[in-house]
């Protein structure tokens, strides 16, 4: 019986890389994405390269009414195999854009937190019933501390981190493991050309770390690992100093 990964937000570079490596390691993948033509190309690519089953399902995270059908589809796709979930959707408008238009706050929180929580809440009982599998959700180092340059996105991710902690406690009781993956800067379309990027990791590195974390049942993982050190320092800077920093 083969493993299945449901990949939510399959058009992002990290999700594409994850789908590829999961399939290389023998899993079937169901790609849930808004742009199904694009995801279709990814699915064909994976099927040709790996010989695994790769299919596409239309998915808009904020269309919460459609979540139930998606979960049904994933259940059918996985069949008797283990269903795992890789949650990779999100959106990161520039803070300056949000500052200029407060109406962007809601959608940013919705895209990164609310819709993820709603969908995971719908998936939870299904996973509990199956009694196996893993959830890997993309948090962010931005969620570890509110920063001048990125705090609306960061607060949504902070919310997601807290949500995942609770979900982890809930699902572990039923044999399902939850990983909070916190990538640092990743070389994706989201960060391309942004100033101030350093130690940028490839999507492939993050994808491999994600799969590894699921296999080894790790709870909260920084990727690459050195971000744990960086964030430990950043978390420990006293607020009265931190508030004046330009980061």
Q: Which residues bind another protein (CB under 8 A)?
A: 11, 13, 16, 35, 38, 41-42, 44-45, 48-49, 189, 192-194
Residues 6 or more apart whose Cβ sits within 8 Å of residue 240: none
- Indicate the residue among 192 and 226 with the shorter CB distance to another protein: 192
Report in angstroms how near the CB of residue 224 gets to another protein at its nearest. 19
- Indicate the residue among 204 and 212 with the shorter CB distance to another protein: 204
In angstroms, the first-to-last Cα distance of the chain is 48
3-state class of 79 per DSSP? coil
3-state class of 180 per DSSP? strand
Report in angstroms how near the CB of residue 32 gets to another protein at its nearest. 17
Under DSSP, the state recorded for 131 is T
- Indicate the residue among 13 and 111 with the shorter CB distance to another protein: 13
Report in angstroms how near the CB of residue 161 gets to another protein at its nearest. 26
Report in angstroms how near the CB of residue 10 gets to another protein at its nearest. 12
Sign of the alpha-carbon dihedral angle for 78, 110, 167, 210: positive
- Indicate the residue among 30 and 124 with the shorter CB distance to another protein: 30
Q: Residue 123: CA atoms inside 13 Å, Cβ hemisphere, count?
A: 33
Report in angstroms how near the CB of residue 222 gets to another protein at its nearest. 24
- Indicate the residue among 35 and 64 with the shorter CB distance to another protein: 35
Report in angstroms how near the CB of residue 46 gets to another protein at its nearest. 9
- Indicate the residue among 16 and 161 with the shorter CB distance to another protein: 16
- Indicate the residue among 82 and 112 with the shorter CB distance to another protein: 112
Report in angstroms how near the CB of residue 195 gets to another protein at its nearest. 10
């Amino acid at each position: 019986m083969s493993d299945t990964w449901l990949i939510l937000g399959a058009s992002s570079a990290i999700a594409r890389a994850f789908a590829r490596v999961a399939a290389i390691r023998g899993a079937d993948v169901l790609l849930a994405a808004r742009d199904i033509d694009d995801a279709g190309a990814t699915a064909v690519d994976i099927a040709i390269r790996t010989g695994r089953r790769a299919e596409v399902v239309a998915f808009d995270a904020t269309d919460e009414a459609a979540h139930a059908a998606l979960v049904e589809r994933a259940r059918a796709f996985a069949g008797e195999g283990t269903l795992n979930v890789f949650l990779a959707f999100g959106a990161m408008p520039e803070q300056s854009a949000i500052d200029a238009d407060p109406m962007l706050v809601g959608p940013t929180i919705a895209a990164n937190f609310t819709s993820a929580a709603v969908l995971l809440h719908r998936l939870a009982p299904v996973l509990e019933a199956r009694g196996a599998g893993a959830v890997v959700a993309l948090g962010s180092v931005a969620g570890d501390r509110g920063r001048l340059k990125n705090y609306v996105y960061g607060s949504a991710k902070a919310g997601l981190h807290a949500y995942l902690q609770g979900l982890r406690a809930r699902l572990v009781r039923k044999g399902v493991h939850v990983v909070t993956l916190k990538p640092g800067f990743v070389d994706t379309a989201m960060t391309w050309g942004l100033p101030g990027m350093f130690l940028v990791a490839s999507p492939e590195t993050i994808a491999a770390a994600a799969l590894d974390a699921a296999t080894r049942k790790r709870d909260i993982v920084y990727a690459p690992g050195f971000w744990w050190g960086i964030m430990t320092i950043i978390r420990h800077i006293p607020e009265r100093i931190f508030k004046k920093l330009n980061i």
